[in-house]
Amino acid sequence: MAMQDHPSPCGRHPQILLDRKCLVGQLENSTTAKTKNSKGHHLEVSFKAVDPPAISLCLVSCVDQTGELLPVDPHILGEAGGSVLLAFTFFGSVHHLPFTDYFVYKAGPNFPCLHLIPRPYPSSFEANLVAILPVNDNSEDFAVVFPHVEYFVLESRKHYTLHIYRSDANDWHTQVANIAEDNETRKAKCKLLLHDAMSVAYAENGIIGWIDLWWGILLCNVLDKKPIIRFVPLPVPEPCDASESHLTFENLTPRPHRHVTIFNDLIKFVELDFHVQDAFCNMKRGKDYGWMARTWSRSIYSDIWHDGLTFDTSELSFSDSSLPNLLPEMFDDKNSLTWGNLTSAGPTLSLHDDNVIYIMAKESMCHRTAYVLAVNGKSLKLESGAHCSAENMLWFEPTYDPCVLFRSFGTTSVAESVKEFETKGTISETKEGPALSVVSKRLRALRKKQDRIARMEESVAAGKVLNQDQKEVMHSKPTIAALINELERLRVPLSTALTKELSTVPAPAAGSSSFGSDLSIQDLLALVYFGSLFYVKSPDEFITTMVARKHERSSCITYGYVWDDTVDLLTENDLDAVSAVAALATARPASAVGVSHHDALQACAHHARLWLTRANAPIHPGSSVTYAAVRSKLDRIMASDYYTAPAVAGNHGAEGLQAQMSMTDSPEAPSLKEILAAENHKEDEEDSSHATEIDNDHQSNAADVQNVMVKPW
């Protein structure tokens, strides 16, 4: 029996997929609401809403927390009836101890507002059971429920105490919820003990559902004078014993293959049955063998599940001609839909369209970007797709949920809300400085690559055949799009964070100058300069140093290839550039004949100042390599896992060299002549291999670096 479509009460479908994990940043638009926390600090909450399958975001800002980071990222606890329950944790003024405030964001009907839930909060409650709901379905007032569950071992039962705040009474009260005596609930005594809610949903008429994707759903009429908890089993077999050693990943966590929604009076359930076991066994590279999806539905007032859709990935096709360009990994050379290159899981049901399921697809379990695919199980079509960040997601457990938030604004779709945001909203930005300019430059470079791919696509449409290198560049399109989206998302919170950080820096005293800092720079540089000048290495130490540093270079680049999702990976030329600028800032070139140590040290200080200010000036006249560009390369190195990985080759200072002397005692240790010969041979091979269009920039950089190393002062 097919499930019936249940339109929204206002006759429109303004559904979004809302990420429960908030971003810290400032975005002022028509959804922005402001208030103060319990300590008087100003807060702002805004939403960036987009049509599914793209993910909508909540942005929060604590305006007065200058110089302070929130100890825990704000997050959404629940949503119902145009209201969102948020939790903010702040650093307190007494002993710097954190405290949490709870707020309710209301989207309408006239304008958005943000309410601080008054204290005292319950001293003990289960965070995974907290819920928000309207006092009644035609009211703007809301209720927030903080349940506390006690387990009585001797009686082998759970005791539910509900702490409830109602905005119409502006007061807290407590009541006990009893277990129902209907047949389904009586038969599920053991399941009630095992039940551990993974999400909460509002149904209607004061009824909420605590959802455990293994054991079932607990429905509770929390606003009644005598609340009753009723059990609803799922229409699938119970899970295996978690102690069994043969369990696969699919058996350990249900979200990658199950989802439940409750909307109005309808419960919907979906399950994916993967064609092979251990579908997620490969952490680094995914391979999808396909799955079969089944859906069921049932009224909250019924005890019968009705069969819905059943379809297989092998039956799906597509009709949108733009999808092969948007999702190239999902299509083969003949533009036929294939599921083999990505791992897909994590189904999410639509609230309004009973035929649509949103599926997450990733290159591997650990990949930091993902696709969200809209699949129509009735027409058997892949309808659309969108990129999303998966950095805060665990494997295939989406952090987003379907919800209806903006219908109070009277918009016919979320797209109109987004258009309204674009015309009315203004993003608060600081003046772009060195930090934001790095992001801007990276965005410009990525957009250039995006434009180049667009030109390639036009060439393909005109019948031109691409070579293998060009095809590989085209395959990087989704990664580039995801990076652009991620960097654009980071601009707002980064700008806000920089504003807060800069506001804490005291203004310089009148008449002060940078003379003191210059002396500090010159003091330190003098030590480094003369220390390296007077340190004499033996031939054995020189060999050890070269071997160790070659190992470090290889490790640094390898970490970039393994973990960095960007297209522009670190290369030997990048490391050469870092070394070249370090030499300019700390040593006198051997070619600087006739230059005194005093003048050489002054020149080093000049280079050091340009480095510290991330200057866009070239590192030497006529060079295309700038201090800021080299600094961005070093920033990438220090942001990678290489920076925090335990050292293997040891230190490379004077003490470290002594510790490595044992390397030179081995009869198999290569001679200096052999090492230099091997290095020259490798450089020749590398020079001959850089023939593609992507590497042209690196070749020009290498020339600049070489120029730096021989440029006389």
What local confidence, expressed as pLDDT, does residue 47 receive? Answer: 93
Q: In 10 A of CB 667, how many CB atoms?
A: 4
Q: Model pTM? A: 0.58
Q: What is the pLDDT of residue 68?
A: 57
The backbone torsions φ and ψ at residue 565, rounded to the nearest 5 degrees and listed phi first, read: -85, -5
Q: Distance between alpha carbon 144 and the CA centroid of its chain, in Å?
A: 29
Per-residue model confidence (pLDDT) at position 119? 92
Predicted local distance difference test score (pLDDT) of residue 69: 59
Q: Which two tokens stand for residue 491?
A: 């601009």
Give SS3 for 63: coil
Q: What is the pLDDT of residue 242?
A: 43
pLDDT in tens, 380-432: 999 988 888 887 787 788 999 999 887 544 333 444 444 443 333 333 333 45
Residue 134 has what pLDDT? Answer: 93
pLDDT of residue 518: 53
Q: H or E stretch including 194?
A: helix 189-194
What does residue 415 show for φ and ψ, rounded to 5 degrees?
-60, -40
The answer to whether the beta carbons of residues 357 and 377 sit under 8 Å apart is yes
Contact 221, 205 (CB under 8 A): yes
Q: According to the model, what pLDDT value does residue 209 have? A: 96
Return the bridge partners of 408, or none.
none
- The pLDDT value given to residue 244: 44
Q: What tens digit of pLDDT does each residue of 261-296 get? A: 999 889 999 999 988 766 555 444 456 678 999 999
Could you identify the residue written with the tokens 């434009």?
Answer: 451
CA distance 137 to 123: 30
H-helix segments, 333-476: 414-424, 434-461, 468-475
Residues lower than pLDDT 50 in the chain: 1-13, 66-67, 241-249, 282-285, 408-431, 508-517, 562-567, 649-673, 675-676, 679-680, 682-713
Instruction: Give the model's pLDDT for residue 86.
Output: 96
Q: Is the peptide bond before 589 cis (omega within 30 degrees of 0)?
A: no
